[in-house]
Structure 1
Amino acid sequence: MPTPLPKLSAIPQEIAAVGDYAAQARARVDDNAWAYIGSGAADEITLRDNRAAFDRIPLHGRVLADVRGGHTRLELLGHSLAHPILLAPVAYQKLAHPAGETGTVQAAAALDACMVVSTLASCTLEDIARHAAGPLWFQLYVQPDAGFNRHLIERAEAAGYSALLITVDAPVAGARNREHRAGFHLPAGIDAANLRGMPQPATPPLPAGGSQVFDRLMAHAPTWKDLDALRAATRLPVILKGIMHPDDAALAVAAGIDGIVVSNHGGRTLDTQPATIDALPAIADRVGGAVPLLLDGGIRRGTDIVKAIARGADAVMIGRAWLHALAAAGPLGVAHVLRLLRDELEIAMALTGCATLADIRRQG
């Protein structure tokens, strides 16, 4: 590939929609970074279907509705949010832009968006918080060392994070063939900044006939019985991310979890899972409003947000949508994506006769 182009310093006219950022991002990162940013698991069927599933769902316009005074505000886990668009946790954001997570959080603040910070952030929790001016949630990948998990949670609490989001759908990495073919590696100067100094578990030799997956990679994976200890380690609301089955949603509610993110990890773990928007209705029916539901995966339009709320979500998370913009134009691009989506959401609400998010749910 040619040398990556410089980052954009202004938003050109040809970027009129969120989807326009993908090509701009590809031209501005090297092959190694793009293999990570763009890849899904295996044949990337779920990655593609997350987007395609939204396109298969129609919206029905309504006319002559009085939507004067409409708004996109909501209450979510103790926060009064201006809109239902959250920035999903994304690892190693310095792969996309030198500012990494500190640039993203500044864009979130400018557009009144809640940001969820990954365990695998390339900036420290504290540095990200210093640049924040809005709600921050901390996403935890449960580590083998229980003491280090508590240490991460305590750091997040001390830095002002207001919710703990535990990712439960990636105890092992998916078979991301695109990364393997590209020989993906973290460049010098980019690492998981918040895992520095973490004790490493002993790795005894595999027994004869042992499995690298079952006997090694999954040996320290969290299970339902571990949730009580994690909940006891924090005073924050606890959300589970990665629920795709109604039975797991019911188990989460029974375990006292405060919220659920319907997510297939952006198609990066188990390929051929259903699209999240297709999985959402059955989960919403099972949960029955007991806890807030969020959804991520494939959102590129304000109409997608309307469809998600109509099918049972309280809010949505976006990932690649803003990561592409970060790679193309830094914090300015992230802010632009949030502005585009909020504007499109309001347009779609007006044209479907919905003055509030509650109206979308009632019409859904």
Structure 2
Amino acid sequence: MTGDRSEDPVTAGESFGRAVQAQIYRAGLFGRTPRVPVSPDALEAAARRRMSRTAWAYVAGSAGRERTAHANRSALDRWEIVPRMLRDVEDRDTGVELFGARLPSPFLFAPVGVLEMAHQEADLAVAAAARELGVPMVISTQGSVPMEETAVALAETVRWYQLYWPGDDGLAASLVRRAEATGAAAIVVTLDTDLLGWRTRDLDLAWLPFGRAMGIAQYLSDPVFAELVAERASRPRQDAPVKPGLAALKTLAGIARRYPGGFLRNLTSPLPRAAVETFLDVFSRPALTWEHLAWLRERTSLPIVLKGLQHPDDAALALDHGVDGIIVSNHGGRQVDGAIGAIDALPGIAERVGGRIPVLFDSGIRSGADAFKALALGARAVLVGRPYVYGLALAGADGAREVVRNLMAEFDLTMALTGRTTTSDITRDALR
């Protein structure tokens, strides 16, 4: 944990929202305002001022004209909450149950790659925030820190592992084995990123962090990946030598710093460059089909959760193939331009699933009220992505913690102010 804390932590409970409010207002009596803006718009604006141009483009950008990202928000805004009055809401329980674990709130830290672009402590800072709040963290395959180190930082906090299914099955099996060994409680298979979307902000800057060995720590720490790299490095190079310019030299130096081992040795070794090239070869798996899920089931006893479903028929296929959970998501609008808002996909999928497995929601959550709407439309829990990354950029672990703490507090107060005392009380009749 970093930063000089001016406030004592608040523990989730029946008065969580009021306690967080009181904490902020008490600090104001002594002239202290929140280090991380509470308003979602102010939070985003502050993070934009703090982050580099390339980091902001990568985190905030979406596909094409970014219509899907806008649709995520406008679709959430179309739903309106209908409060009920004169109900005893003094005691509330914001907890939910997922795969046998009782969680203090319906929020999870979504898997976000390349967190080093927001803060040097990256995944470790988010793990510290998750540990303090008791909120699960979904560890990303595109992490900036090996999953084993992130797991240590999480201590006993629930963690899931998000699998970007690579092109090499041996590598996929190795990543899953490592996730199991670190105590992951579920495997989240991201389906909507078998190829990178047409992300115009990154393209305009010609910036792909993975080509600079950023966000590939899971691969660089993997024994199967190391074998693939060694095999590639042993091949004779086919391209003609090119004298690198200043930009290329900076890139090569960055790769050498991030590759395991000594910096000076890496500068003259073929392995760092071969590692980046190997990653670019194995990252995507566009040939992935429903039949591959049986292969994964043979290799893990953990619950398998599919992330990225947007059509009820795909939810039905997920049930047919024995998956244990679904995350309705369009990857925050980062993959397909002009797709439906994610919340518009939720009711149909929840209805098709019919409570047989948990349905979670991702893409567009910016407030506790948004989470309330998602639960009313059939979600068991929600994943938060960009907002906590903005907090991370502003104040490291403390910033990520405060962002999610504020979401939890607003959710608690929204429950109380609408006459709900448990998350199971949040049903479709809460909305119009």
Same fold (TM over 0.5): yes
Distance 2:99 2:142 in 1: 24
Partner in structure 2 of residue 211 of structure 1: none
How far is 1:12 from its partner? 4.1
64 and 234 in structure 1: CA distance in 2 versus 1, 3 angstrom threshold: same
55 and 227 in structure 1: CA distance in 2 versus 1, 3 angstrom threshold: same
Aligned partner (choices 195, 199, 213) of residue 219 of structure 2: 195
3-state secondary structure, aligned to 2:154: coil
Distance 2:198 2:162 in 1: 22
Aligned partner (choices 139, 149, 173) of residue 172 of structure 2: 149
Partner in structure 1 of residue 324 of structure 2: 258
117 and 217 in structure 1: CA distance in 2 versus 1, 3 angstrom threshold: closer
How far is 1:27 from its partner? 1.3
Aligned partner (choices 194, 208, 216) of residue 185 of structure 1: 208
Partner in structure 2 of residue 330 of structure 1: 396
Partner in structure 2 of residue 247 of structure 1: 313
**1:78-122, CA deviations, whole angstroms, 9 ceiling, x for partnerless residues?**
111000000110001001000000000100111110000110101
Q: Which amino acid aligns with 1:61?
A: P
How far is 1:261 from its partner? 0.1
How far is 1:9 from its partner? 7.8
Q: Which amino acid aligns with 1:115?
A: M
Q: How does 1:132-143 map to 2 (within 5 A)?
A: 132-133=154-155, 134-143=157-166
How far is 1:242 from its partner? 0.3
Find out whether 1:169 has 2:235 as its counterpart: no
Partner in structure 2 of residue 311 of structure 1: 377
How far is 1:191 from its partner? 3.7
3-state secondary structure, aligned to 2:396: helix
What is the root-mean-square deviation of aligned Cα atoms in Å? 2.1
3-state secondary structure, aligned to 1:131: helix
Aligned partner (choices 318, 340, 355) of residue 289 of structure 1: 355
**1:239-267, CA deviations, whole angstroms, 9 ceiling, x for partnerless residues?**
00000000000000110000000000000
CA contact (8 A) 2:166 2:285 kept: no
Aligned partner (choices 73, 95, 98) of residue 73 of structure 1: 95
72 and 257 in structure 1: CA distance in 2 versus 1, 3 angstrom threshold: same
Q: How does 1:94-173 map to 2 (within 5 A)?
A: 94-133=116-155, 134-173=157-196
How far is 1:310 from its partner? 0.4
Distance 2:285 2:407 in 1: 41
Partner in structure 2 of residue 212 of structure 1: none
CA contact (8 A) 2:165 2:283 kept: no
Partner in structure 2 of residue 88 of structure 1: 110
Find out whether 1:47 has 2:69 as its counterpart: yes
CA contact (8 A) 1:281 1:312 kept: yes
Segments of 5+ residues of structure 1 without an aligned counterpart are 1-6, 203-215
3-state secondary structure, aligned to 1:27: helix
Q: Which amino acid aligns with 1:174?
A: G
CA contact (8 A) 1:61 1:353 kept: yes
362 and 266 in structure 1: CA distance in 2 versus 1, 3 angstrom threshold: closer
Aligned partner (choices 286, 292, 295) of residue 229 of structure 1: 295
Q: Which amino acid aligns with 2:368?
A: G
3-state secondary structure, aligned to 1:58: coil
How far is 1:271 from its partner? 1.2
Between the two proteins, what is the percent identity of the paired residues? 41
3-state secondary structure, aligned to 2:188: strand
Q: Which amino acid aligns with 2:216?
A: A
Aligned partner (choices 83, 89, 106) of residue 61 of structure 1: 83
Distance 1:192 1:217 in 2: 10
How far is 1:54 from its partner? 1.5
Partner in structure 2 of residue 343 of structure 1: 409
Partner in structure 2 of residue 35 of structure 1: 57
Of residues 260-269 and 42-51 in structure 1, the stretch that sits farther from structure 2 once superposed is: 42-51
**1:52-82, CA deviations, whole angstroms, 9 ceiling, x for partnerless residues?**
2212211111111112321101111111100
3-state secondary structure, aligned to 1:64: coil
How far is 1:8 from its partner? 9.8
3-state secondary structure, aligned to 1:223: coil
How far is 1:217 from its partner? 9.3
Distance 1:271 1:117 in 2: 26
Distance 1:8 1:176 in 2: 37
9 and 179 in structure 1: CA distance in 2 versus 1, 3 angstrom threshold: farther
Structure richer in helix, relative to its length: 2
**1:195-226, CA deviations, whole angstroms, 9 ceiling, x for partnerless residues?**
12623799xxxxxxxxxxxxx99775311110
Find out whether 1:280 has 2:346 as its counterpart: yes
Q: How does 1:208-219 map to 2 (within 5 A)?
A: none
Structure (1 or 2) with the larger CA radius of gyration: 2
CA contact (8 A) 1:86 1:317 kept: yes
Distance 1:131 1:275 in 2: 34
CA contact (8 A) 1:8 1:329 kept: no
**1:318-359, CA deviations, whole angstroms, 9 ceiling, x for partnerless residues?**
100111111111111111111111111111111111000000
How far is 1:32 from its partner? 1.1
